[in-house]
Amino acid sequence: MSNKLPGLGICTHFGRRDQGWKAEHLVPLAKEMGVSLVRDEIEWHSVEKEKGKYEISQANHDWLKKVSDAGMGINFVLLYGNSIYENPLDPKAFANFAKFMAEELVGKYNIVSFEIWNEPTNFQFLKQYGGPWSGKEPCLWLEKFAELVAGTASVLKKTVPQIPLIAAPGDPQFFHMAMRYPESLKDIDAVASHPYPSRFPPETVPWGGLQIHERDGISVADDDHSYFSLWRRTQEQCRKYLGRELALHATEWGYSTYDHHRKGHNMAGYSESAQAMYLARGIILTMAAGVESIYLYDFMDDGMNRYELEDNFGMVRHEARCYEKKPSWHTLRRLSEMLSPEWSKVASPPAKLNVEINPLPYNSDLWQHPVKEPYLCINAPQFHWFKVGRDMVSFVWRGGRISGEYRDPVGCIEWDNAPDFRRIEMFDLYSGQMLPVNPLVEKGKLILPEVPVGGSPAAIRWMPT
């Protein structure tokens, strides 16, 4: 039985073989984990070294073939400037490059989408043209980016009309782009976000609220900063300014296991156990939000420096450490096995979760009052359902930060008029430990007691007779 999980992607850099990104070793590990999609790139300047002359190296053809032969789809990112042009971001020259890549790759490899550029605020557009990072007016870089997206998408739609095109200006930048340059998105099929949680659990995004609205000129999330609200508001923006919905993708997202104590960054560094639990929770949330895919950044640790953010995002370690699997790899393989080969979101859960969660006890001494994080609003139990073949699969955990200091609460699942089940299985998604299942039936209601509601999702498979 295949454990390939539809919608589960990884970011890779297979063009960097000399830095450990060897497809012959990493593709089998990704396939075994359950990956169905790969996001990667070949930079423009490496393909067009003389104006009008294009060539893809054999090394790049090799990784494209290995990924395709493994049955994984490729979200190919068209990116970055080329200094052979007076304007390294020349939109017509970039569109010509995109056309060549489409003609060369589609049909030969398993290209499932083209993503036009990557993080324009971090790579070239903001630096070259200037303007507010957020994209609020006046903003020359966003105007120029919209021009490049429009021209490239128009060319690609004529060249490979069957391939979906993704725009990823960022958040809140997409909201401003849709509002001010809707015509630039007329040939775009999907919008991508890179909703890195920064220093928060996956239920929370670093947007929303009055301060962020004042900074960015727009709110891309609700005041509770919820991950779900980002996607809902994105689709609302599409309907309002584009007159249609776009497919949604999270084409970069992840947690680094670096040590942030010596070299600070706007992203926190997490324990390997927290990374594993948070990645699993984030994937489940993404699927429950109606997002078509999520690409984990990135599959392999880029290096071995404990204190370097970029060196520690992986689910497997660097080549120098023999691609050793981190706990997140095992957790995500278990998640893939639960939801493969095909899953669908259950819009209305058939059962309810009952759990009692109380704050820490304290007496009347003021110094003992518990401290709360004002930005972190989502700490409630999470309960999500999916259909997998004839089975139902549900996941339960407590939103918010992971703490191993206190005992986790337990709850019960109550299902009125439940069908007959030949078997119910429950296990801890992080540890893989099977958990006891002792269902009761009371007055026509199926009750599953002792369901843990902690930081690691409890995975439950309901198998009908």
Q: SS3 of 75, please?
A: strand
CA torsion through residues 103, 109, 114, 119, sign? negative
Residue 14 three-state SS: coil
- By DSSP bridging, strand 410-416 and strand 391-398 are unpaired
Tokens of 246: 């776009």
Pairing of the two strands 293-296 and 344-345 = unpaired
Measured distance CA(44)–CA(168) in Å, rounded: 18
Please list the pLDDT of the chain residue by residue as tens digits (465 residues).
568 999 999 999 999 999 999 999 999 999 999 999 999 999 999 999 999 999 999 999 999 999 999 999 999 999 999 999 999 999 999 999 999 999 999 999 999 999 999 999 999 999 999 999 999 999 999 999 999 999 999 999 999 999 999 999 999 999 999 999 999 999 999 999 999 999 999 999 999 999 999 999 999 999 999 999 999 999 999 999 999 999 999 999 999 999 999 987 889 999 999 999 999 999 999 999 999 999 999 999 999 999 999 999 999 999 999 999 999 999 999 999 999 999 999 989 999 999 999 887 777 766 666 677 888 999 999 999 999 999 999 999 999 999 888 899 999 999 999 999 999 999 999 999 999 999 999 988 999 999 999 999 999 999 999
Residue 10: Cβ within 10 Å count: 26
What pLDDT shows up at residue 368?
66
Could you give the residue range(s) of every CATH 3.20.20.80 domain in the chain?
8-342
> Residue 319: helix, strand or coil by DSSP?
helix
HSE at residue 45, side-chain half, CA atoms within 13 A, is 9
Domain with CATH 2.60.40 in the chain: 345-464
**Interatomic CA distance for residues 348 and 353, integer angstroms:** 13
Give the C-alpha separation, 10 to 314, whole Å. Answer: 10
Q: Which two tokens stand for residue 100?
A: 């060549």
* Span 247-276, pLDDT tens digits: 999 999 999 999 999 987 889 999 999 999
Residues in contact with 303: Cβ distance below 8 Å, sequence separation at least 6, in sequence order: 19, 310, 311, 318
pLDDT digits (tens, 9 = 90+) for 3-60: 899 999 999 999 999 999 999 999 999 999 999 999 999 999 999 999 999 999 999 9
What are φ and ψ of residue 249, in 5° steps?
-140, 145
- Structure tokens belonging to residue 82: 């080329």
DSSP annotation of 316 reads: B
What is the pLDDT, as a whole number, of residue 255?
A: 98
Residue 3: per-residue pLDDT: 84
Can the peptide bond before residue 341 be classed as cis, meaning omega within 30 degrees of 0? yes
Q: What is the pLDDT of residues 306-338, one digit of tens each?
A: 999 999 999 999 999 999 999 999 999 999 999
Q: Is the distance from CB of 461 to CB of 393 less than 8 angstroms?
A: yes
Which tokens is 269 given? 């560094």
One CATH from 3.40.50.2300, 2.60.40.10, 3.20.20.80, 3.30.365.10 for 8-342: 3.20.20.80
User: Is the CA virtual torsion 56, 60, 65, 68 positive or negative?
Assistant: negative
Measure the N-to-C terminal CA separation of the chain; round to a whole number of Å: 21
Q: What is the predicted pLDDT for the residue at 367?
A: 66
* pLDDT value of residue 360: 78
Q: Which of 63, 179, 84, 78 is nearest to 123 (CA)?
A: 78
What is the predicted pLDDT for the residue at 366?
63
**Residue 236: partners with Cβ closer than 8 Å, 6 or more residues away:** none
| Contacting residues for 407 by C-beta, under 8 A, at least 6 apart | none
3-state SS class at 72:
coil
Q: What are the b/e assignments for 331-343, b being 16+ CB within 10 Å?
A: bbbbbbebbbeeb
Average pLDDT, the chain: 96
Cα–Cα dist 259/90, whole Å:
40
Return d(Cα 49, Cα 97) in angstroms, integer: 11
Q: What CATH code is assigned to 345-464?
A: 2.60.40
Which among 127, 139, 200 has a CA at the least distance from the CA of 175? 139
